[in-house]
Structure 1
């Protein structure tokens, strides 16, 4: 299990997300952003929009995805 923060994934806070894989931590970040916005936290709105729009630009999204996977792999196990 490894832990990344919302901020490490491009968000505005230090909420911790723990998962076995980078893919799972990315999915957990998406849920966190969605819930924060739904709860009225405007600070997460831009990060949520960035997450949704990222996939409209394949090269940019793959760069972000590859970077996130590398950062996750470099983290120590919890």
Structure 2
């Protein structure tokens, strides 16, 4: 089992997500992000806006995803 933090994925905190695959980590991160959005957590909302600025196209999103997946696999 491997772990990545919210901040490793562009988020605003050190909450750890654990999983055997990057997809498991991604699902936990997505759920956490939705919870933080519902709570209107200022730090996470700022981090999400920064991520939107980085990912202006599907190609940008795919490159980010593949880069983070590679980081996970290297753990």
Provide the TM-score with structure 2 as the length reference.
0.82
Q: Which residue of 2 aligns with 1:71?
A: 71
Following the alignment from structure 2 to structure 1, what is the Cα–Cα distance between the partners of residues 14 and 63?
Answer: 23
Contact 1:34 1:48 in 2 (8 A): no
User: Matched residues in 2 for 1:38 and 1:12: separation?
Assistant: 15
Secondary structure at 2:28 match in 1: helix
Per-residue deviation at 1:40? 3.0
Give the aligned CA root-mean-square deviation in angstroms: 2.1
Name 1:10's counterpart in structure 2: 10
Cα distance in 1 between the residues matched to 2:45 and 2:54: 14
Aligned counterparts of 2:24 and 2:56: Cα–Cα separation in 1: 21
- Structure 1 stretches of 5 or more lacking a match? none
